[in-house]
Amino acid sequence: MAQAALFEPEQTLGVGELVARVTRAVAAAFPAEVWVRGEVHGLKQPNASGHVYFELCERNNRRGPTSTLNVALFRLEHQRVLKALREYPDFRLADGLEVRVRGRIQFAYGRVSLVMSAIDPVHTLGRLAADRQRVLRALADDGLLDANRAVALPLLPLRIGLVTSHGSAAFEDAVQELTASGIGFQVRVADARVQGAGADLSMVRALTALRTQDCDVVLLVRGGGSRTDLVAFDSERLARAIATMPVPVLTGVGHEIDSCVVDEVAHASYKTPTACAAAVVERVRTTTARTEAAWARAAHVATDRLRRADQRLDAVAARVSPTVVRSAERALDEHARHVRRAALVALDRQHARTDLLAARTTAADPARLFARGWSITHTADGRLVRFPADAPPGTELVTTLESGLVRSEVLPDD
Amino acid sequence: MTDDEITYADAMAELEAIVAGLDDADVDVDLLAARVARAAELITVCRERIARTRLEVERIVAELDEP
């Protein structure tokens, strides 16, 4: 009866039985607890019952699908785990961490999950340390470890870029330190997430935003946390962003023991946000003090030089002026004597000339000749008689004496 | 122009011209006396000028010497 066979019901399982079978199969496949390695995601705070849930993920390849396993950490196990972790203060369970956990695999509520009972913090810390070393080597290979240290810190870093979680304790500490200094800092805050998945990318974006804001220095700060809280500060892309910033980046990431990768690439690193801000305050104070001291020295030196120059001038003047004046006086005396001498010589010459003319005048004066008995004889018609030929016989003569005239006539020659 | 106003140079020039004329053989005697008289005046003027100038020079040089 082929027809009947067609309708013969195949074996059909009820949901309850199927689930029970899968549950048994899973339990049989994983009879004991297993260690599982993966990255923490979706970590939630303990719920009202004290249970903690998260997922362990593993990306199968760069772009491929991600395998996910739900993890339940019940209250009692949670307390045991926390107790065990007290020996590892650097460790705290957080998103993004790669962890190695132990637990029982169970199929419950329609899915496979891991009921966690223990965690291996050494695995995570070792992995973080190894990652840190790898990142540092990569940065060193690219010559980025000292790149930001080579950027000079301005003498007066007054325009400050502040990368941190806005409103956090770290933010308040840094701003408080800057404000309390009384120095007129201008603070540009670039808000960023500083913990959890994507925190490093958030800080890279904040740094990028500050590139165009004319900062003198950038402070990257975060409050205290465990090693695993600070995993973002070991990020290679954050380290590269810091190394290539055009201004100095100072870090103040709260941690006690070893340093983060960002501390290695930063211009300088400080233990706390407060210490980081204090370093900037100190820089400004030192510069101000040095400037004032230099100014005071310059003023002192200038005053001193002026005083000494004044004294030297006085000394030179005292030595020079009598000499100069004396020599000028001597020259003037000489000129005066010369003028006098020349004038007197000229006058003497004129005097002699006048005397000579006077003598000649006197010599020509006819009155003197008449007084001594000389006379002058003219003919009656007025011609001067100097030679016998001037007065032939019969000529009438008029002779002028000192006083009066004598008339006469020339007698014939015998 | 009176003799007070005449310059020394003019006085000297006139005097020299008169003295040169005195050597002229044909000088008129009456004129000669007048010329001699004029020469004497000019000589007096020149001598006064020289004496006055000498005093002036001495006074000026003495003033220069004063502090």
CATH number at residue A229: 3.40.50.2300
Residue A388 lies in a domain: yes
Q: Are A92 and A200 in the same domain?
A: no
Q: Are A164 and A272 in the same domain?
A: yes
- Of A107, A337, A311, nearest in space to B57 by CA: A337
Decide if A343 touches B, using CB distance below 8 A. yes
**Residue A2 zone, left/alpha/beta (φ > 0; ψ -120 to 50; rest):** alpha
Q: Which residue of A has its CA nearest to B65?
A: A333
Classify burial at A254, counting beta carbons within 10 Å of its beta carbon; exposed 0-12, middle 13-18, buried 19 or more.
Answer: buried
CA atoms within 13 A of residue B59's CA, in its CB half-sphere? 6
The pLDDT of residue A334 is 81
Give the gap in angstroms from C-alpha A361 to the nearest C-alpha of chain B.
6
A90 CA to centre of own chain: 40
- pTM of the predicted structure, to 2 decimals: 0.53
* Partners of A21 in the β-ladder: none
The pLDDT of residue A1 is 46
Q: Are A163 and A270 in the same domain?
A: yes
- pLDDT digits (tens), chain B, 67 positions: 566 678 988 988 898 888 888 777 666 766 777 888 888 888 888 888 888 888 888 888 777 666 5
Q: What is the percentage of chain A residues whose pLDDT exceeds 90?
A: 43
- ipTM for the whole predicted complex goes beyond 0.95: no
Q: Are A268 and A334 in the same domain?
A: no
Q: Are A71 and A166 in the same domain?
A: no
The pLDDT of residue A160 is 94
Q: Are A215 and A105 in the same domain?
A: no
Domain limit, last residue, from A85, A119, A153:
A119
Q: Are A74 and A52 in the same domain?
A: yes
Q: Report the pLDDT averaged over residues A279-303.
A: 88
Q: Are A147 and A280 in the same domain?
A: yes
Please say whether the beta carbons of A44 and A55 come within 8 A: no
Residue A192 lies in a domain: yes
Decide if B22 touches A, using CB distance below 8 A. yes
Q: Are A354 and A377 in the same domain?
A: no
Q: Are A149 and A186 in the same domain?
A: yes
Domain limit, last residue, from A285, A308, A331:
A285
Residue A7 has pLDDT above 70, yes or no: no
Residue A3 lies in a domain: no
C-alpha distances out from residue A347 to A360, B45, B59, Å: 20, 14, 15
Residue A266 lies in a domain: yes
Residue A168 lies in a domain: yes
Q: Which of B36, B46, B64 sits opposite A350 (nearest CB)?
A: B46
Q: Are A259 and A356 in the same domain?
A: no
| β-strand pairing of A405-409 with A268-270 | unpaired
Per-residue pLDDT tens over the stretch A124-176: 888 888 888 899 999 999 999 999 999 999 988 999 999 999 989 899 999 99
Q: Are A193 and A263 in the same domain?
A: yes
Give the gap in angstroms from C-alpha A324 to the nearest C-alpha of chain B.
17
Q: What is the CATH number of the domain that holds A101?
A: 2.40.50.140
Residues A286 and A156: their CA atoms lie apart, in Å, by 9
Domain limits for position A111: 13-119
Residue A296 lies in a domain: no
Q: Residue A95 corresponds to which amino acid? A: D
Residues A277, A282, A284, A286: what is their CA dihedral angle, to the nearest 10 degrees? -170
Residue A93 lies in a domain: yes
Give the gap in angstroms from C-alpha B50 to the nearest C-alpha of chain A.
6
Q: Which two tokens stand for residue A67?
A: 């395998």
Residue A203 lies in a domain: yes
How many domains does chain A divide into? 4
